[in-house]
Amino acid sequence: MEVSQNKKTFLNDWTMFEKMWLIISTITMIGLSIIWKDSAMALISGVTGIIGVVLCAKGKVSTYIFATVNVALYAIICYQNALYGEVMLNALYFIPMNIIGFLLWNKRKDDDGNVEAKALTKNQVIILFIGLGIAIFLYYQLLKSLGGNLQLIDSITTVTSVVALILQVMRYKEQWLVWILVNLVSILMWVMLLNTPEGSVTMIVMWAAYLINSIYGYVNWSKLSKKEA
Contact 202, 25 (CB under 8 A): no
Whether 5 maps to a domain, the answer reads: no
Is the pLDDT at 133 greater than 90? The verdict is yes
HSE at residue 189, side-chain half, CA atoms within 13 A, is: 26
Query: Longest C-alpha distance within the chain, in Å?
Result: 59
Other Cβ atoms less than 10 A from the Cβ of 72: the count is: 18
Classified as helix, coil or strand, 109 is strand
Looking at residue 39, its pLDDT comes to 81
Identify the domain containing residue 182 by its residue range: 16-110+119-228
Whether 142 maps to a domain, the answer reads: yes
pLDDT average, residue stretch 10-34:
78
Query: DSSP letters along 116-129, please?
Result: --B---HHHHHHHH
Looking at residue 95, its pLDDT comes to 92
Whether 9 maps to a domain, the answer reads: no
Question: pTM value?
Answer: 0.78
Count of domains in the chain? Answer: 1
Looking at residue 83, its amino acid is: L
Is the pLDDT at 22 greater than 50? The verdict is yes
pLDDT average, residue stretch 36-65:
84
HSE at residue 209, side-chain half, CA atoms within 13 A, is: 27
Q: How many helices (H) and strands (E) does the chain have?
A: 10, 0
Looking at residue 179, its pLDDT comes to 94
Distances (CA, A) of 184 to 156, 163, 181, 196, 208: 10, 16, 5, 20, 8
d(CA 113, CA 192): 40
Q: Please, what is the average pLDDT of the chain? A: 84
Q: Band of the pLDDT at 55, cuts 50, 70, 90?
A: confident
Is the pLDDT at 10 greater than 70? The verdict is no
pLDDT in tens, 140-179: 999 888 887 788 988 998 899 889 999 999 999 999 999 9
pLDDT in tens, 59-72: 888 889 999 999 99
